Amino acid sequence: MNDNDSTWTCTDSAELYGIDRWGGGYFSISPRGEIEVISSSPHGEYRVSLREIVQGLEARGLEMPIMLRLENLIEQRIGEFYSAFNKAIESAGYRNCYQGVFPIKVNQQGNVVQAVSRYGDPYHHGLEAGSKAELLIAMATLTNSSSLIICNGYKDAEFIDLGLQARKLGLKCIFVIETLKEVPIILERSAHWGVDPLLGIRMKLSTRVDGQWAGDSGDRSLFGLTSTQITEVVEQLKTARKLSCLQLLHFHLGSQIPNIRNIRDGVREACCYFVNIAAQGADLKYLDLGGGLGIDYDGMGSGDHSVNYTLDEYCFDVVETIQEHLDPYDVPHPTIITESGRAVVAPMSVLLFNILDVVTFEPRLSNTSGDHHCEPIRALCDARRKLDAKRLQEFYNDSFYYRDQVHEAFLRGQIGLQERALGENCFLSILQEIASLVPQVKYPSAELKHLGDYLADIYYGNFSVFKSLPDAWAIGQIFPVMPIHRLDEKPDRRAVIADLTCDCDGKLDRFVGMQGHTNTLPLHSLKEDEEYYIGVFLVGAYQETLGDFHNLFGDTNVASVRVDAEGRLEFVHEIKGDSVAEVLGYVDHQPRELYRRFHDFAERSVRESRISLKERQQMLELYRKSMDGYTYFKG
C-alpha cells in the first residue's frame, strides 16, 4: 500500500476501499477521484460520476440524505440473470427454460416494482407476492400473461379470491400451499368462481445453509410442508380430482446463502421430491428455488457477507443438478424459477449523505510538567516524557491505570474539571505516541493492534441507520461505505460514523477493509468550504422496506436516475422525503392539533407578559415552518 501522500492515486483508493472486489463491475473510481457508475448496454458502456449526480440533485432542490436509485442497474441485473441461465441451459442441453419472479417484499417501493416489471417484461419476469397487499400490487402491475405471479405466505379466502380473479384475467397466478388448511379453502373458492387454480407446494427441506439465516434452515425451518403433510395434500387433491392443478414445487432455503454447495444440496433434495410427486401423477411443470442468491458485500469471496460463487456458477450448478437428478427417472425438465430479490436489486441503490461534524481524540496539551498536580496526573506527565519504544505495552498499561485513577480522584471530589481534562489529554497524548510506534513492533499485542480504533475520530453523518440501513444495526450486516469523491487524495483520518439519532447503536463501525473487516474507515479531513459526501453501497434490498422511524427521522429523499442510449444522464423520478408533519402523523400526533396547542401556549404567554406579540409571531412561524420541513439536518 502506498504510504506517500503526494504520490497517492485513485488506484490506491480502489485497493483501500475494495471497490473492485464488491463493486461487481458497476462502480469504479474515475481519474478525477470520484466514484462513477458504469452502465453497460448493447449500445456501449457509459460512466457517470456520483458527485455529478449529487450536484444535479441538489440543483433540483433535493437535500441530503438521498437514496439514489440507478435504474440502469436494475435492467442490467435482470438481463444478466437471463443471459447466465440461458448460457447454462444451452451448454447443458437442458430441455426447458428459466423464468424468474421478483419478490415484492425485497423492495416494495412503487417505482422499484414498476421498474423491475418494465425491464423484466421482455423476459416474462414475474412477481412474487407474500400478502394480499403485495398481490394487489402484482395484479395491477403485471399485464404480460406469460409472466408468473407466485403467491407465497398464508392465504385466507380473500387472498385466494383475489388470485382467482387474476387467473380469470389470464394471468398465471400460482398459489403455493403453505399449510394444509389452505387446501379446502382453495378448492371451495375455485369451485365458487368456476376457475381451476394453479397450485404449488412449499417443501420443508432438510438441507441446512451457512450464513446469517443458518438457524432458520433445515428440519426446524418455520415454513413449508413436511413429507407427511405433502403426502396429505397430494391425497386431498387426488380425491378432489385436482391433482393436475399441482404444477409447481417450491423451496426457499434462506437469504444471502454464502455457500454454493448448500444450494446444490437443496436443489438435489427438491429434485427427489419432484420425482416422487411426479410419479404420483402430478403434472409438475415448474421447480421454484426461492431466493437466497447472495451478494458479495465485502468482496471476501466467503463468509456471511459474501458468496463463494458467481452468478454463472450458480446457474450452471442449478441446471446441472436438476438434470442429473431427474434424467435417471425420465422426468421432463421443469421451467426453473427463482425468486431472487437481493441479488437483483441490491446494487441499484446507494445511500448518500454528507458529514456534519467531526470529533477527534487529539490531545490538547500545554507543556506542563504536572508537578503541581495530584499523583496520577504527575505519573501521566512523567510517562509522556519518558515513553520508551521498547516498552510500549508497559506504558500502555500504566497510562490506563493512571487515567482510571484520575477519574477516581474526580469522583471523590479531590480534583476539578480542569485537572481531569489535563489528565485525560496527557493520557491521549501517550496513546497517540504509542499508536504511532506500534508499526515498528514485530509482534504487537491485540490491545496495541487495536489502539488505532480506540483513538478513531467520530464523523457525524446526516442520516439514520435505523431508517436507511436497518440491517447494519439489526443483524450486523456489512455494507461497503466510502467517500464518493477526493479519492485521488490519501485519506488522513480513521473514523467511525455516527448518525443523527443520538442512540448509541446509531453508528457504522464495521467496514470492508483490505484484508478483512475493520472497525474504522479511512476518511479525509474535512475542508472548510466543501461538503464531504459518503456513499453506502448495495443497499437496494430490504433496507428501505425494513427501516423504521427511530427518533422520528422519516423517509429520505429518493431519486431515480438513468443513463439513456446516448449516454446522457436523465433524472427520471424524485420523491421528497417525509416532512416532520407526515412523520408526526404516522405516530398519531395530529400536526394541526399540535399547532393549535402551541398557538394557545404562545398566546397565554403574551397575556402573561412572558413574550411580546412580535416574538409570538416569530415562534409560530418557526413552528409552522419546521412542521413542513425535512426531518434531517438542513445545510
- DSSP for 362-413, written as a single string: ---------TTS-HHHHHHHHHHHH--GGGHHHHHHHHHHHHHHHHHHHHTT
- CB half-sphere exposure, 87, CA atoms < 13 A: 13
**Nearest distance in Å: CB 550, ligand PLP:** 23
Torsion of CA 75, 80, 85, 86, to 10 degrees: 90
Pick between residue 53 and residue 129 the one whose CB is nearest to ligand PLP. 129
Stretch that binds ligand PLP, among 288-296, 302-310, 373-381, 522-530 (CB under 6 A): 288-296
**Nearest distance in Å: CB 404, ligand PLP:** 47
- DSSP for 29-64, written as a single string: E-TTS-EEEEEEETTEEEEEEHHHHHHHHHHTTPPS
Whether residue 211 contacts residue 256, with contact meaning beta carbons closer than 8 Å, is answered with: yes
- Selected from 292, 423, 444, 480, the binder of ligand PLP by CB under 6 A is 292
Instruction: Check residue 333 and report its DSSP letter.
Output: P
The angle at the Cα of 64, spanning 61 to 70, to the nearest 5 degrees, equals 85
Stretch that binds ligand PLP, among 337-345, 426-434, 496-504, 561-569 (CB under 6 A): 337-345
- C-alpha gyration radius of the chain: 30
By CB under 6 A, residue 291 contacts ligand PLP: yes
- Selected from 339, 457, 544, 555, the binder of ligand PLP by CB under 6 A is 339
Pick between residue 345 and residue 377 the one whose CB is nearest to ligand PLP. 345
By CB under 6 A, residue 259 contacts ligand PLP: no
Nearest-CA neighbor of 334 among 262, 275, 263? Answer: 275
**Nearest distance in Å: CB 476, ligand PLP:** 17
Q: Burial, 209: exposed, middle or buried (Cβ in 10 Å; 0-12, 13-18, 19+)?
A: buried
Three state DSSP letters for 224-245: CECHHHHHHHHHHHHHCCCHHH
**Nearest distance in Å: CB 280, ligand PLP:** 25
Pick between residue 103 and residue 200 the one whose CB is nearest to ligand PLP. 103
Stretch that binds ligand PLP, among 24-32, 47-55, 287-295, 500-508 (CB under 6 A): 287-295
Pick between residue 341 and residue 491 the one whose CB is nearest to ligand PLP. 341
Stretch that binds ligand PLP, among 164-172, 177-185, 248-256, 603-611 (CB under 6 A): 248-256
Torsion of CA 10, 13, 18, 24, to 10 degrees: -30
Whether residue 223 contacts residue 193, with contact meaning beta carbons closer than 8 Å, is answered with: no
* AA identity, residue 210: D
Number of residues forming the site for ligand PLP (CB under 6 A): 17
Q: Of residues 111-170, which lie at the interface with ligand PLP (CB under 6 A)?
A: 128, 152
**Nearest distance in Å: CB 511, ligand PLP:** 23
- Selected from 18, 120, 197, 341, the binder of ligand PLP by CB under 6 A is 341
Strands 493-498 and 507-508: antiparallel
Pick between residue 291 and residue 506 the one whose CB is nearest to ligand PLP. 291
Report how far residue 17's alpha carbon sits from residue 434's, in angstroms, rounded to the nearest whole number: 26
**Nearest distance in Å: CB 601, ligand PLP:** 48
By CB under 6 A, residue 340 contacts ligand PLP: yes
- Selected from 48, 225, 284, 293, the binder of ligand PLP by CB under 6 A is 293
Pick between residue 30 and residue 338 the one whose CB is nearest to ligand PLP. 338
The helix/strand/coil state of 563 is strand
Strands 27-29 and 511-512: unpaired
Whether residue 363 contacts residue 312, with contact meaning beta carbons closer than 8 Å, is answered with: no
Stretch that binds ligand PLP, among 11-19, 36-44, 178-186, 291-299 (CB under 6 A): 291-299
Pick between residue 103 and residue 376 the one whose CB is nearest to ligand PLP. 103
Residue nearest ligand PLP (C-beta atom): 291
- Selected from 51, 189, 333, 342, the binder of ligand PLP by CB under 6 A is 342
By CB under 6 A, residue 260 contacts ligand PLP: no
- Selected from 30, 255, 462, 543, the binder of ligand PLP by CB under 6 A is 255
Per-residue x/- track, 440-479, ligand PLP (CB under 6 A):
----------------------------------------
By CB under 6 A, residue 103 contacts ligand PLP: yes
Whether residue 574 contacts residue 559, with contact meaning beta carbons closer than 8 Å, is answered with: yes
By CB under 6 A, residue 106 contacts ligand PLP: yes
**Nearest distance in Å: CB 248, ligand PLP:** 13
Q: Which helix (H) or strand (E) holds 312?
A: helix 311-326
Pick between residue 306 and residue 340 the one whose CB is nearest to ligand PLP. 340
Q: Bin 208: left if φ > 0, else alpha if -120 < ψ < 50, else beta.
A: beta
- Selected from 252, 305, 467, 550, the binder of ligand PLP by CB under 6 A is 252
Per-residue x/- track, 533-562, ligand PLP (CB under 6 A):
--------x---------------------
Q: Burial, 228: exposed, middle or buried (Cβ in 10 Å; 0-12, 13-18, 19+)?
A: exposed
C-alpha distances out from residue 274 to 246, 334, 546, Å: 11, 10, 34
**Nearest distance in Å: CB 130, ligand PLP:** 7
Sequence-distant (6+) residues with CB within 8 A of 454 are: 431
**Nearest distance in Å: CB 127, ligand PLP:** 11
Site residues for ligand PLP per CB under 6 A: 103, 106, 128, 152, 252, 255-256, 290-293, 339-343, 541
